[in-house]
Amino acid sequence: MQSSRPKPSPREKAAQRANFLTALCFLAPAVLLVTVFLLVPLIYNVWISFTGWAKFSGIDRFVGVANYSQAFSNPKFFEAAGNTVSWIVASLVLPIGLGLGFALLLRGIRGAEAFKTVFFVPRLLAPTAIGTIWYYVFADNGTLNAMLSGVGLGDWTRSWLYDPLMITPAMIIAHTWQTTGLVMVLLLLGLAALPTEPLEAAQVEGATPFQIFRHIVLPMLLPTLLVVTIISVIAGFTTFDLVWVMGRDYPNRSTLTLAVHQYWETFRSNRWAYGASVAVLIGLIALLITWVQTLLQQKLEDRAK
Amino acid sequence: MLKAFKTGIAAAVLTAAAVGTAAADGPKLYHDKYFWQESMQRMATFAAEKQHPFEPTPYATDQYQAFIATGVQSGNPPDLFTWWNGTKLKELVDSGALQPLDDLWKEAVDAGQMDPSAAELYKVDGKIYGVPLHLSSWVVFYNKKLFDKAGVTPPKSWDELLATADKLKGAGITPFVATVQDGWRGFIWFEELLIRTDPETYLKLNAGEASYTSDAVKKVFQIWGDLYAKGYFTPATSNEEVLSFARGDAAMYLMGDWAIQNIVEGGLKPGDDFGAFVMPNITPDLPAAVIGEGSPIVVSKTGAAKPEVADFVRWWMTDEAAAAWAKDPSLYIGNVKAPKPNVIVKDVSEALAAAKARTLPRYWEASPSDIVLPAVEEFNRFMVDPKPAVAEEVMQNVQKIADDYWAQHKQ
């Protein structure tokens, strides 16, 4: 460690200044883009959320926190928040659980590449296309009901997408189908990067496969799992496409997530200022989640040191 | 080599610019009727041949409303665009963005082209603010083969309608198709049953002067629920409403007559395979009435200053344009010289004229959209689960929404 630096000579100072200017030139396009397309709209959105917005005349007055208190007294907002929590939990448990299972199963078996490709393919489709495909799986005259009738389980057929207990699980199944492949590939990469010595040592010592997984593989895989967790939480939190395609028309909009609620209020109901306040709340929640995850990551890194 | 390449690029750019200019000739007609876009493009080709070019430009409905609203906010709305009649038109007129079109209407009526009553839907405070993109009546389509199979004919009274439904049911045919597809359809039967039992309450409801928990509305839900209890409807959860009717899943279908083209695309021929009748009144001594709907083409004040915009609107109301639009996509705009789009529209409009039927505005446009949107979701909920307890909840919930709205908006 250096406690005191020698004073830079005038030549060095000039060089530093030139360096700084060069850096600034390189930075300028990025700074400009981020400012114009991210910061300004963000600040503008926050400003809108404190105003009243009349449909054809635009911002017409400052209303303080009225839009926010409307959100907190709106049962639809809480319903959407509750649905979003189910989505986050489901996208944590299902894609990661299944992805990890597939990754462990496929590790080192013959034809693993083919299986990996098959599991990964849904990831390549646009979520809207996935929603449409699964809409027709669950539709009244869709694949699922046809299959059930075909095997003599006609009594089990139902309007899956209009059943209050089935609609969100149906959408989550579609989501899991799409996201498991990516999680699996990331975990396979994580598994491939593990050092082999501890595993071999454990085998020599006579540990059972479960013990090896629980005490050696899982702890070493934690950093990868954390990355996968972050991706999954964000995917669950920002779910829009699937809900829009499969659950938008569900009576009373009781299947919407926060993101869809915000879109609906803004563009369908033309309540732009209220929509802006919901957007700010979504942003704050996302910030909070990211903060918790950063803390966890920090902890994990500290432990690894 | 490089020079040749550069020349080639320059030529390509010039050609593209020239083509671009040709295609952009004439005013842009913005709209959200993307399902008619192909017909509109064919119409644009025809219009260009007749020296009245326009360029149809479609948007998805949500983005479209935002696009028009921001245009009006910034004082720069499009010159020419489609809108809705009723409360939605009044909102836009109140914003000061639209140009009254009384002069163009007067020309068209004086020339014996347009039926003056077609302007009624577009009047706000005595002035006319639109020309029809289409004028539609809401009727009951019926499948002729299925009617023959059950040995029934189009009913002339509510009792006959119930007897018809009963006979169809007896022959193993579901009487009506009705779904919540796309989320907006819930009001259709509500509105129809209300105008057939108590049209004055319907009008008062739209104006905030009657309650959704009134006896008149309770009666509607009771009749509606009874029809469901008798198994007269297909499941509300189907996502293939028009196809369902075209396939013969049920014998009757209550919808705007703009849907004829969709039914034709489903494989039925108007007149031969399916016909239409106006829903009979339930309360027998009521005067004849029908639900009318008509999206207007409107002109902004900035657009009104451009001669090519007025030229297009003037041409749109002629029999030359109306005849082409009647052929494809089979829509009626109120021009009396042009042939009617199809035999069903012809028969229905003649029957309505003979009965001196009064046209009532559609619930979607007649009630404030802040009430309509959540109310439709409630009606959909009833259609999916048509129990008396749900009906009770729906009436209470919609009344609460209406109370909140009118508390803020009553003068």
Q: Could you tell me the CATH number of the domain that includes residue B380?
A: 3.40.190.10
Whether B353 maps to a domain, the answer reads no
What residue in A sits closest to B398 (Cα-Cα)?
A252
- In a domain? residue A166: yes
Chain A residues in contact with B370 by the CB 8 A cut-off are 269
Mean pLDDT, chain B, whole residue set: 91
Q: How many CA atoms lie within 13 A of B196 on its CB side?
A: 22
Torsion of CA B67, B68, B72, B78, to 10 degrees: 100
- Looking at the fold, whether B98 and B198 belong to one and the same domain comes out as no
pLDDT of B321 over the 50 cut: yes
| AA identity, residue A133 | I
Both tokens assigned to B227: 């029809």
In a domain, A60, yes or no: no
Burial class (CB in 10 A: 0-12, 13-18, 19+), A120: middle
Residue B61 CB neighbour total at 10 angstroms:
14
Distance from CA of B314 to the nearest CA of A (A): 27
Question: Is a pLDDT exceeding 80 seen at residue A108?
Answer: no
d(CA B220, CA B350): 29
Per the domain annotation, does A9 fall within a domain? no
Binary contact (A56, B92; C-beta < 8 A): yes
Q: Are residues B72 and B152 in the same domain?
A: no
The nearest CA of chain B is from the CA of A293 a distance in Å of 35
Interface of A with B (CB under 8 A): 55-58, 135, 139-141, 159, 161-162, 248-249, 251-253, 267-270
Contact between B377 and A269 using a beta-carbon 8 Å cutoff: no
Whether B2 shows a pLDDT value over 60: the answer reads no
Give the model confidence (pLDDT) of B326-340 as tens digits.
Answer: 998 999 999 999 999
Nearest chain A residue to B184, by CA = A249
**Residue B6 placed within a domain:** no
Residue B23: pLDDT above 70? no
> Could you read off the pLDDT of A226-281 as tens digits, one per residue?
889 888 888 888 889 999 999 877 777 788 899 999 998 888 888 889 999 999 99
3-state secondary structure B198-259: CHHHHHHHHCCCCCCCCHHHHHHHHHHHHHHHCCCECCCCCCCHHHHHHHCCEEEEEEEHHH
pLDDT over threshold 80, residue A3: no
* Minimal C-alpha gap between B181 and chain A (Å): 7
Res. B1 pLDDT band, cuts 50 70 90:
very low
Task: Give the total residue count for chain A.
Answer: 305
pLDDT of residue B20: 41
CB contact under 8 A, A249 and B180: yes
Same domain, B275 and B310: no
The CA distance from A124 to A96, in Å, is: 18
Of A57, A58, A140, the CB nearest to B238: A140
Print the domain residue range for B199.
138-291+362-409
Domain count, chain A: 1
- Chain centroid to Cα A117, Å, comes to 22
Predicted confidence at residue A254, as pLDDT, reads 81
Query: Do B123 and B23 meet the contact criterion of CB atoms below 8 Å apart?
Result: no
Best mutation target among B92, B384, B394 (most A Cβ atoms within 10 Å) is B384
* Chain-chain contact of A249 with B235 (C-beta, under 8 angstroms): no
- In the predicted model, is pLDDT for residue B12 greater than 50? no
**Quick one: pLDDT at residue B196?**
98
Same domain, B256 and B112: no
Of A108 and B85, the structure prediction assigns the larger pLDDT to B85
- Picking from B61, B64, B65, B73 by the largest number of A CB atoms within 10 A of its own CB, the best residue to mutate is B73
In a domain, B347, yes or no: no
Over residues B205-209, mean pLDDT = 96
Q: Are residues B214 and B97 in the same domain?
A: no
pLDDT digits (tens, 9 = 90+) for B66-90: 899 989 988 899 999 999 999 999 9
Distance between CA atoms of A175 and A95, rounded to whole angstroms?
9
For B97, the closest chain A residue by CA position comes to: A56
Question: φ, ψ for residue B136 (rounded to 5)?
Answer: -125, 145
Position B163 confidence tier, pLDDT thresholds 50, 70, 90: very high
Q: B332 and B404: one domain?
A: no
What SS3 state is found at A205? coil
Q: Range with the lowest mean pLDDT among A1-5, A51-55, A211-215, B176-180?
A: A1-5
Q: Characterise B208 by phi-psi region: left (phi > 0), alpha (psi -120 to 50), beta (else).
A: left
B351 in any annotated domain: no
**Tokens for A19?**
């360096």
- Please give the residue that has the higher pLDDT: either A290 or B264: B264
User: Is pLDDT above 50 for B16?
Assistant: no
- CB < 8 Å from A in window 350-379 of B: 369-370, 373, 377-378
Residue B130 and residue B142 in one domain: no
pLDDT single digits (tens) A41-81: 999 999 999 998 888 877 778 999 999 999 999 888 999 99
Judged against a pLDDT cut of 50, whether residue B130 lies above it is answered with yes
Q: Please give the mean pLDDT across all residues of chain A.
A: 88
* Model confidence pLDDT, tens digit, residues B340-360: 999 999 999 899 989 999 999
HEC assignment per residue over chain B: CHHHHHHHHHHHHHHHHHHHHHHCCCCEEEECCHHHHHHHHHHHHHHHHCCCCCEEEECCHHHHHHHHHHHHHCCCCCCEEECCCCHHHHHHHHCCCECCCHHHHHHHHHCCCECHHHHHHHEECCEECCEECCCEEEEEEEEHHHHHHHCCCCCCCHHHHHHHHHHHHHCCCEEEECCCHHHCCCHHHHHHHHHHHCHHHHHHHHCCCCCCCCHHHHHHHHHHHHHHHCCCECCCCCCCHHHHHHHCCEEEEEEEHHHHHHHHHCCCCECCCEEEECCCCCCCCCCCEEEEECCEEEEEHHHHCCHHHHHHHHHHCCHHHHHHHHHCCCCCCCECCCCCCCHHHHHHHHHHHHCCCEEEECHHHHCCHHHHHHHHHHHHHHHHCCCHHHHHHHHHHHHHHHHHHHHHHCC
pLDDT at position B22: 41
B171 within some domain: yes
pLDDT of residue A267: 85
How far is the C-alpha of B67 from the C-alpha of B300, rounded, in Å? Answer: 14
Per-residue confidence (pLDDT) for residue A213, from 0 to 100? 87
Shortest CA distance from B71: residue in chain A:
A56
Q: Which two tokens stand for residue B330?
A: 């089979």
pLDDT at A107 over 90: no
Question: Least CB-CB distance to B73: which of A56, A159, A162?
Answer: A56
Are the Cβ atoms of B380 and A251 closer than 8 angstroms? yes
pLDDT grade for A112, boundaries at 50, 70 and 90: confident
Number of structural domains (chain B) is 2
Domain of A82, in residue numbers: 67-304
Q: What is the CATH number of the domain that holds A243?
A: 1.10.3720.10
Which positions in chain A touch B74 (Cβ < 8 Å)? Answer: 58
Q: Mark whether B117 and B236 lie in a shared domain.
A: no
User: Do the Cβ atoms of A249 and B73 come within 8 Å?
Assistant: no
Query: Is B9 part of any domain?
Result: no
Asked if the structure places residue B124 within a domain, the reply is yes
Domain membership of residue A33 (yes or no) is: no
Question: Which residues from chain B sit within 8 angstroms of residue A75, using beta carbons?
Answer: none
Report pLDDT for B411: 57
| B239–A55 CB contact, under 8 Å | no
In a domain, B211, yes or no: yes
Cβ–Cβ pairs < 8 A, chains A and B: 63
User: Is residue A71 situated within a structural domain?
Assistant: yes
B57 and chain A: CB distance < 8 Å anywhere? no
Does A26 reside within a domain?
no
Residue of B nearest to A162 (CA): B237
- For chain A, how long is the longest CA-to-CA vector? 89
| B286 and B222, same domain (yes or no) | yes
Reference B274, options B161, B141, B173, B168; nearest CA is B141
Beta bridge partners of residue B138, listed in sequence order: B256
